[in-house]
Structure 1
Amino acid sequence: MKKCILTACFSFLTYIALSQGAIQGRVIDKNSREPLELAYVRWSNSLQGVVTNKQGYFSLNPASATGSDGVLIISFIGFTTREIRTSGNNSILVEMEKGPVSLEEVVITPQSTAASFHTISKIDLNLQPVRSAQDILRTVPGLFIGQHQGGGKAEQIFLRGFDIDHGTDINVTVDGLPVNMVSHAHGQGYADLHFLIPELTGSVDYGKGPYYTQYGNLGTAGYVSMNTANSLDKSAIKLEAGQFNTIRGLAMIDLLSKRQKQKGTNAYVAGEFLYSDGPFASPQHFNRFNLFGKFNTQLGKNNRLTLIASTLNSDWDASGQIPERAVKNGSIGRFGYIDNTEGGYTNRTNGSARLSSYLSPATTWENHAFYSNYNFNLHSNFTFFLNDPVNGDQIRQREGRHIYGYHSKLSHETHLGAWNVESVYGTGFRLDQTRNTELSHTINRNTVLEYTQLGDIRETNAFAYADQSIEKNRWRFNIGARLDYFNFHYKDKLSAAQSPDQEKVIVSPKLNIQYTLDTKTQLYLKTGKGFHSNDARVVVFNQGHEILPAAYGADLGVLLKPTRNLLVNLAAWYLYLQQEFVYVGDEGVVKPSGKTRRIGLDLSARYQFNNWLFADANVNIAKPRSAEEPKGENYIPLAPGLTSTGGLNWQLKNGLQGSLRYRFMKDRAANENKSVVAQGYTVTDLSVNYTKKQYELGLAIENLFNVKWNETQFDTESRLQHEADPVSEIHFTPGTSFFARLKLSVFF
């Protein structure tokens, strides 16, 4: 504690000494009183300025040094730009009001690359209507998702030449709470976002590649960090109804008065119910219920406490993947089924507490503790009657889980001569304990014919990291390193012999460099090492060998703003994995695929035609290949090679707003030699809303042109009940046909 106090005093004195004569201030949201990080502050006669830190603070050279008339310009995406005359006042508070989105407010600064993804996602989140938590993931350029067994199962994710399955190579968090489940009954890194109510999303941050010290396990292809809003602008009740017996209700209630909010205290609750049968011949009976509550308040002048609690309960029926041959011979339709006894249920209850302590305007100390209780039960049948011609091949994957975690992070800004220095230090742990993690052979969901695996898992990940960003004039260097320690324990309930616990330590260094030519151009190089852990059962059975395969990556990119209404991000990238050594939960086996190599090109562009019409486009090219197989035999099954997303968004002053959006995925190899191909698709969605002060009417249409497309596809060997021999071919889940929903929201 003494050390923390000394650090705080030193930081404060340093800050005061170095900012004598400078204009100091803080930028906040006028309604919520929340600090606005990355707001841009400059003098009226200069394009060069500074951005606010996490607490919303800034310090700018005095007006006399620039010949300014003393007028400050403060801008931030989604807020109305303000002009303030300082009039000799060296300490000001800037209150920003929400306003129209304008690309003019995006300014390239030495901090831009670190925040460029955040900026792009903030633009998208402001403009694109979000219908589900999965739509939030789609705001990440190049990220695709696919559902292949009922609405309640976590989606399959594709990014940067990866078929990530349900989350093996992407680190996903909500309010700092890990979404990914390590050593999960269905698959490593299983990331189920259904506990997030989409309308509560306040911000989305993301990064591609293993370049970020704060995001460790599973963050090889990248990370997505979402945060819920700290306050509600207004309370609302929403009702939606659409095809396929779809109905959704939502209530978001602000619990406090404006007077309390002006004092910095916010509290709200939200509840969501969803039911849908889907377009399938066998109804899904998918229902989901969510409750969420958030409270945040000031504790004294320099501490802020945030408490969050949420719970999810969901169950569904499913038809799973169906074989092409059954559709071609007419025995079933595209939305038919071979086994309609698939399905599952899941529930998750979360609680977290975060204390943000502002030790000085340049130093923040955050402490975050969280807990989750989780239950999962899934029945699947991928091969039908291949292994058991009499009873069928249905499997059950089940687990109960407790997750405990803590993360402490100290952020500090200072100066070393002419260099600006930002330091971040973090430490913490995550403990997962599962009970009766199961893989079994079942029939009709009820009877267990045989247990393949049954046991309890305990997996501990302790970590520490340090991150330094140093900046001078046009240069910015970011150097970081992360240390992760793992302990894996598995109690096998089907065997008297038990394998000992296994331990592993891995160090992940990062080095990122950027050079800002001017306010229109910035170059950057990102390099780093990341990793994904393997399932604890595999780690123990393999006595700790090859359990933390490393990933090495590099990005060479440019951030451009050639005109005031155009923002472009272009990056060439490379990623090498030591081993795609992943536990296949559906079979209870390990299928190592050896070393892999991916190279690619990402292009993202945002353009504003006028004050109400916006366009965006993302093109993502990848060449994913096995590094150890001969040419022609080295394809990585289902890894995407070319994807693109984009569309038009409009926001008229009369309250009419909407979007027309497309997503495209090219044909891709379904096996190692590309003799089997997963078909590509282009799907277009439309959303139109009419918003007034007290209500909103809306129409959302998925698959506007009613194209036939396959949402997920696998090259699977299966046997139907009356077939003499098995057949290996594409098995698929059909993508949703034309699907329209109406909605009515009332605000109060």
Structure 2
Amino acid sequence: MKKTLLATALAALSLSAHADDPFLPRVTIDASRISQLGIADSAAEGTVTQRQLAARTTYRPGELLEATPGLVASQHSGEGKANQFYLRGFNLDHGTDLRTTVDGMPVNQRSHAHGQGWTDLNFVIPELATRLDYRKGPYSVYGGDFASAGATDIAYAGRLTRGIANLTVGQNGYGRILVAGSSDIEAGAQAGSLLYALETMHNDGPFTRGDNYRKVNGVLRYSEGFANNGFHVTAMAYRAGWNATDQIPQRAVDNGTLGRFDAIDPTDGGSAHRYSLSAAWARTTEESSARVSAYAIANRLALFSNFTYFMDDPVNGDQFAQPDRRVTSGVDASYAWHAHGANGSFASTTTVGFTAQNDNIHNGLYSTKARRVIATTRQDHIVETSGALFVENQTRWNPVFRTVAGLRADRYRFDVASDRAVNTGKANDTMASPTASLIFGPWANTEFYVNAGTGFHSNDARGTVIAVDPKTNAPADRVTPLARTRGLDLGVRSEWFRGLQTSLSLYRLDMDSELVFVGDAGTTEAGRPSRRHGIELSNYYKPFRWLSLDADLAYARGRYRDGDAAGDRIPGAVEGVAQFAATVTPAGPWSGALRLRWFGPRPLVEDDSIRSAATMTLNGRIGYRVDRNLQVELEAFNLTNRRDAAITYYYASQLKDEAAPVDDHHFHPIESRSLRLTLAYSF
């Protein structure tokens, strides 16, 4: 089957000794896109190659996901904190409804102390990323939890054709060193490869009290063969600590009490570590393919925040701690049968599989002052276990029509032991999710797609058994463990005009309930039902060998569906997103790139009476190749030095000299213009 064979070939690059060299100049490369005709099952699905990823200018690792058309990765706190994500009309908080995996390992952390689906990508080393696969909408049996708005997977390299030693220095205390390489190892009759990477970084940012973000990050991987016929064993380790300049009230900036880069509570911040061990094995023949992977991940976070300042506690302040430590383990397995017609026009693949995951979690919520605990709101031990069975059939019926149909069944079990017996208990839930896709074409290098499916997101385990609000002691309603989503996409993808790749998608997504994070209660609760309509247009044009142009546009309309008198707008829901980029790679040692990102206004309250402003950033890079082994690169962020907000909220807070709480905009500024210079040596 064409899709299976091409997708397998793409996957094989992550272990191939002949994969794209990640250590060629990141600008002086051909950032061409691979055609998705005959591969993708929807207009909102695609693969971003290693060369495309390497050509991007990213301020932080989480911004790699912005290679997904229409996706925005923002930040409202210190550099070590998980990014804030926006996609398809969602404020996804720190990862809710956006499933993210790295080499098949889940990054989303369920029932997390700070928010459901916490997605911390600071452990990712961009130079090791060989591919980013993305899929928007609940149309695949491989999605599962958190995948309703979209799903992304970053694949790491198994071998590097050349090693690298990178040194980067920049403004605002930025410094980074990366050393990576691989060596061939003879293991009996088989030849394997040992890959290593070690990264260390420091960044203060433009803030009055510097972030002092410091991290050490490492990867060690042994692999044999290819991704479709081989195996690998990988160990990763990441540690970091930072200060945080959280969002600040607009009124204090307007009256001159605070500068844009000042903080209310100078003791906010945190520390984190992530250690993982994973393995994957695959075998592929003409008739069948089998895959098995397993992982164990130890995560730990200590997070100190203060968003309301002195509203709840005028004496000690409102800082709170949300520690979270967990061990996540899981296994995924699938087996596929391939069938081919005698005339070659018919091909079919049927895949069956299962996935299982267990999270052993200890977290809580504490009132603190200067990171010292002064009161306990709640502390919990959570064991959350899930398993899923799925089946999917992909069939090409003739040269211009193919189908994908699947069914996934998930079972969840929640076991919460709280410091309050009344909030201790067990819950479980089951969800079946059918999906179907119809693909017509290609005609004149154009395909048409119809996608329909259901998905879900899990709610915080503590909310499924809660009886009493631990902050107020008032009775609390329990939430549904699994909330269903329903989606429909109509799309077209075309390459009829030479050098131009275009995809257009119209979508609708209904949710039984939005997820709402309640910070002072340390939990995530089920919100109101919603509906989103949207349109996405993605274009890639290569008019000349030395020039490539990108233009991605997205618009979404999100509304609550329950008729509440408070209003039908969804606070923080993104409406418009646009990205434009140009990459220039002329003959000779010089090259360059520019990327403009526009992130439109959003409603901040349900009646739409309060809205955020738009945010726009322009980033760029210039590269110069000194010789075969050495290149120099200058990156620039926020070239126009705009004074926009990275994120904006509207809520009540109280400053120390105020007699009562005040409803106000609270924002975190985008970083001021900064430069980074990199010397990259390959060996």
Fold similarity call, TM over 0.5: yes
Q: Deviations over 1:269-311 (max 9, x none)?
A: 0011110111001111111110111111149x99512011101
Structure 1 equivalent of residue 473 of structure 2: none
Q: 1:539 matched to which residue of 2? A: 464
8 Å CA contact 1:596, 1:626 repeated in 2: yes
User: Partner of 1:643 in structure 2?
Assistant: 577
Change (3 A) 1:261 1:554: farther
Deviation at residue 472 of structure 1 after TM alignment: 1.8
Structure 1 match to 2:668: 733
Deviation at 1:392, TM superposition (A): 0.5
2:64 is paired with a residue whose SS is helix
Q: Does residue 344 of structure 2 align to residue 409 of structure 1?
A: no
**1:124: which partner in 2?**
52
- Cα separation, 1, equivalents of 2:319 and 2:29: 54
In the alignment, is residue 560 of structure 1 matched against residue 494 of structure 2? yes
Report 1:91-170 matches (<5 A): 100-102=30-32, 106=35, 108-109=37-38, 111-113=39-41, 117-119=45-47, 124-125=52-53, 127-130=55-58, 132-170=60-98
CA contact (8 A) 1:645 1:662 kept: yes
AA partner of residue 373 (structure 1): A
SS at match of 2:184: coil
User: Is the contact between residue 32 and residue 52 of structure 2 (CA under 8 Å) also seen in structure 1?
Assistant: no
CA spacing shift, 1:683–1:55, aligned 2, 3 Å: closer
In the TM superposition, what is the alpha-carbon distance from 1:642 to its structure 2 partner? Answer: 0.7
Question: Which of residues 673, 679, 682 is equivalent to 1:744?
Answer: 679
Alpha carbons of structure 1 residues 261 and 520: separation in structure 2 relative to 1, 3 Å: farther
Alpha-carbon distance in structure 2 between the residues aligned to 1:107 and 1:681: 31
Q: Once the 2 structures are TM-superposed, how far is the Cα of residue 593 of structure 1 from its aligned partner?
A: 2.9
Tell me how far apart the structure 1 counterparts of residues 243 and 453 of structure 2 sit (CA, whole Å): 42
**Given the alignment, which residue of 242, 257, 265 partners 1:339?**
265
Q: Which runs of 5+ in 1 are unaligned?
A: 1-14, 16-25, 27-35, 40-50, 57-75, 80-97
How far apart are 1:268 and its partner, in Å? 1.1
Distance 1:539 1:583, change over 3 A: farther
Contact 2:624 2:631 in 1 (8 A): yes
TM-score, length of structure 2 as denominator length: 0.92
1:376 and 1:331 map into 2 onto residues whose CA distance is 32
Query: Closer, same or farther in 2 for the Cα pair 1:191/1:646, shift >3 Å?
Result: same
Tell me, yes or no, if structure 1 residue 505 matches structure 2 residue 415. no
Counterparts in 2 of 1:107-506, with a 5 A limit? 108-109=37-38, 111-113=39-41, 117-119=45-47, 124-125=52-53, 127-130=55-58, 132-256=60-184, 265-298=192-225, 304-358=230-284, 360-415=285-340, 419-435=346-362, 437-446=363-372, 448-473=373-398, 474-493=400-419, 495-497=420-422, 499-506=424-431
Query: Equivalents in 2 of 1:206, 1:281: separation in Å?
Result: 37
Whole-angstrom CA distance in 2 between matches of 1:701 and 1:329: 31
Deviation at 1:632, TM superposition (A): 8.5
Cα drift, residue 587 of structure 1: 3.0
The whole-number CA distance in structure 2 between the counterparts of 1:704 and 1:200 is: 27
Q: Distance in 2 between matches of 1:165 and 1:350?
A: 24
Residue 472 of structure 2: aligned partner: none
The CA deviation at 1:129 is: 4.3
* In 1: Cα distance, 2:228 partner to 2:195 partner: 23
Identical pairs, percent = 30
Q: 1:625 aligns with which of 556, 559, 566?
A: 559
Once the two structures are TM-superposed, the CA of residue 737 in structure 1 deviates from its matched residue by 0.6
TM-aligned CA deviation for residue 416 of structure 1 = 5.8
Write the distance in 2 (CA, Å) between the matches of 1:443 and 1:102: 52
Amino acid at match of 2:177: G
Please list, as runs of the form range in 1=range in 2, the aligned pairs for 1:676-715 lying within 5 A after superposition: 676-691=610-625, 692-715=627-650
Matches within 5 A, 1:33-52: 38=6
Contact 1:77 1:101 in 2 (8 A): no
TM-superposition CA deviations, 1:696-733 (whole Å, max 9, x none)? 10000100010111001111210001101110111111
The one-letter code matched in structure 1 to 2:168 is: E
Q: For the aligned residues, what is the CA RMSD?
A: 2.7
> Contact (CA 8 Å) 1:608, 1:615: kept in 2 or not?
yes
In structure 1, how many angstroms separate the alpha carbons of the residues matched to 2:415 and 2:194? Answer: 40
Q: Choose 556-565 or 152-161, whichever is displaced more.
A: 556-565
Provide Cα deviations, 1:636-684, integer angstroms capped at 9, x if missing partner: 0011111101210122332333310010011111111122211112110
In the TM superposition, 1:6-45 aligns within 5 A as 38=6
Q: Distance in 1 between matches of 2:353 and 2:551?
A: 36
Residues 303-359 of structure 1: CA deviation (Å, up to 9, x unaligned): 51201110110000112110000000001111111111100000000110111123x
Q: Distance in 1 between matches of 2:536 and 2:228?
A: 41
Higher relative CO (Cα under 8 Å, sequence separation at least 6) belongs to: 2
| Structure ID, larger Rg | 1
Q: What is the deviation of 1:615? A: 0.2
Cα distance, 1:400 vs structure 2: 1.3
| Pairs within 5 Å for 1:552-631 | 552-588=486-522, 591-629=525-563
- Given that 2:319 and 2:368 are in contact with CA atoms closer than 8 Å, whether structure 1 keeps it comes out as yes
Give CA-to-partner distance per residue, 1:549-589, whole Å, 9 cap, x none: 10100110000112120000001000000111444244335
Where does residue 25 of structure 2 map in the other structure? none
Deviation at 1:419, TM superposition (A): 3.0
> Separation in 1 of the partners of 2:589 and 2:190?
31
Letter in 2 for 1:522: E
CA separation in 2, counterparts of 1:248 and 1:329?
38
> How much does 1:261 deviate?
14
AA in 1 matched with 2:77: Q
